[in-house]
Amino acid sequence: MPISIQKISPAIGAVVEGVDLSDPVPSKVFEALQLAVGEHGVLAFRDQHLTPAQHVAFSRQFGSLETHVISEALLDGYPEIYVISNVVEDGKPKGRPYAGTYWHSDLSYMPVPAMGSMMYALRIPEIGGDTMFANMYLAYETLSSGLQRMLEQLRAVHDFGHADKRFFSQRGAKARLDDTAKKKTPPVEHPVVRIHPTTGRKALFINPGFTSRFVDMTEEESEPLLQYLFQHITQPAFIYRHRWQVNDLVFWDNRCTLHHAIRDYGEDSPRHMHRTTISGDKPIPV
């Protein structure tokens, strides 16, 4: 069966069929997937049966892999796999339960942000637990030309601690980042508009989770424009909502998308996922 890549929503995303990710993908398939993730932003692969080693091997075909700073959520024997889970066994959490429950781009708070992420669904709630993805190409392209020009001249501060202050703190002490994670992730600066290295398209590169302010502005001065942009970039016309099935693998491009894990299920509804994160390169400014 030849590989098939078909759009999954008007704004963003495609479903990929005809490829078994448990084996190394042929070079032509790899090239097609590399182009497709830049074009569509999100690729969904259904009914994949992967061991942790196979998940890591497929991810590595696209680049070296990151090791997340929250070390207690890494899979034993596979530090490349970040476990996102609300499952508790023998009183010990199996992973990070509150990860990604706000709009963000993975590792935008690092000096060199992530290229992409691959998440594999092992257990999902009977109802709920979807993930939303937003298209940052469209977010940029639908702004006025005047605002585009202004944003192209700006840089923004990205800070993992911002998510802790704005989101994790509202969910109690168990959700908070520890001091070790904060010390490993001091604030960094990135262009507000970046050029995608594969497609050549411009995309907004800010997000509510990690972007705290514009460079050379205070948070108070930055807030009105940031809030306008955050409302703009997460409007329904730019979003695909993925309803997970067990054995789904979803590959998203952090250079041109945002995502948000919807926490609309109870603690008695297990959600257990494995995520790898592919290293990227410094954002290309306009």
pTM check: above 0.75: yes
Average pLDDT, the chain: 94
| Structural domain contains residue 285 | no
pLDDT of residue 229: 98
Catalytic residue among 55, 96, 104, 196: 104
Whether pLDDT at 245 is above 70? yes
The whole-number average pLDDT for the span 37-43 is 98
Q: Does 20 reside within a domain?
A: yes
Question: Residue length, the chain?
Answer: 286
State the Cα angle at 45 between 39 and 50, rounded to 5°.
130
Query: What is the Cα–Cα distance from 59 to 63, expressed in whole angstroms?
Result: 7
C-alpha–C-alpha distance, residues 46 and 145, integer Å: 39
Confirm whether 275 is a catalytic residue.
yes
CATH code for position 49: 3.60.130.10
Q: Provide the 8-state DSSP code for 169.
A: G
Say if 13 falls within a structural domain.
yes
Is 197 a member of any domain? yes
Please state, in angstroms and rounded to a whole number, the distance separating the CA atoms of residues 108 and 236.
23
Catalytic one among 259, 260, 271, 274?
Answer: 259
Q: Which domain holds residue 156?
A: 4-280
Instruction: Reply yes or no on whether 106 is catalytic.
Output: yes
- The pLDDT value recorded for residue 266 is 85
Inside any domain, residue 188: yes
Does the residue 286 lie in any domain? no
pLDDT tier at 173 (50, 70, 90 boundaries)? Answer: very low
The amino acid sitting at 114 is A
Name the phi and psi angles at 52, rounded to 5. -55, -40
Percent of the chain with pLDDT over 70: 96
Options 68, 106, 260, 274, the catalytic residue = 106
**What does the alpha-carbon distance between residue 198 and residue 241 come to, in Å, rounded to a whole number?**
24
Domain membership of residue 230 (yes or no) is yes
How many structural domains compose the chain? 1
Burial of 176 (0-12, 13-18, 19+ CB in 10 A): middle
Please calculate the CA angle 235-162-102 and round it to the nearest 5 degrees: 35
At 91 the pLDDT is 87
